[in-house]
Amino acid sequence: MLVIPAIDLKDGKCVRLKQGRMEDATTYGDDPVAMAARWVEAGTRRLHLVDLNGAFEGKPINGEAVTAIAKRWPELPIQIGGGIRSAETIEHYLAAGVSYVILGTKAVKEPNFVGEMCRAFPGHIIVGLDARDGFVATDGWAEVSQVKAVELAKRFADDGVSSIVYTDIARDGMMNGVNIASTAELAREGGLPVIASGGVTNLDDLRQLVAAQEPGIIGAITGRAIYEGTLDVAQAQQLCDELTSNLPTGN
């Protein structure tokens, strides 16, 4: 299971929000490339980037920072979300060296778009499902739909989606643990690999994710915890490697 540091971009700076509220942002640095270097040096195997301005405005706003990070570490898998709502934007990011693009709002509002993009850019599409009480939210989490995350994941399972990034909004940035039950249910029922997000605070959270023994949980995104020091990236990845290597294989 991968431990994936998050770099959330707002007005060119590295920030973290609480429950997706733009007005409740904590700034951790004004140099996204330097922040990425911090996590690369810690041994991360993937980075999670979010264009927060883009998520609200529906188009890339912090694309220059994303491109700069991708060009600096061309071999490092990078996934980017926020404001990706056209084939042109996807093509731009992939050409810049990004490995995966995350479709969120567009995937919920126009599900057929996901299949089209999977066919156009095979192996590069992730769907971001951000849920409040199990229902998917859109538009920078400003709107909550009537669609259940598990049902939507099932719809995308045959489209060729690489994985699902699943965020429990109520826990995001709150440092109070992961929603293990919902994450495990999605991995079990949704038919796609799941990357957990929202509330990953310490090593115990990672132990619980691994202990859920859902092989479909392939990663855990962490943000505020690594910036405030309750989780060490290198130590966390080492723990996950040790725990997953000890899991029984097969049934």
Question: Annotated active-site positions, please?
Answer: 8, 130
CB proximity list for 214: less than 8 A, separation 6 or greater = 183, 184, 187, 188, 194
Phi, psi of 226 (to 5 degrees): -75, -25
Question: 230: which 2 tokens?
Answer: 């309750």
Reading phi first (left if > 0) and then psi (alpha if -120 to 50, else beta), residue 168 is in: beta
CA-CA distance, 114 to 110, in Å (whole number)?
Answer: 8
How would DSSP label each residue in 179-215?
A: -HHHHHHHHHHSSS-EEEES---SHHHHHHHHHTT-T
3-state SS of the chain: helix, strand, coil percent to 5? 40, 30, 30
Side-chain half-sphere exposure of 187, counting CA atoms within 13 A: 24
26 sits in which H/E element:
strand 21-29
- The residues that bridge with 128 in the sheet, in sequence order, are 165
CA-CA distance, 78 to 80, in Å (whole number)?
Answer: 7
End-to-end CA distance of the chain: 19
CA-CA distance, 178 to 172, in Å (whole number)?
Answer: 9
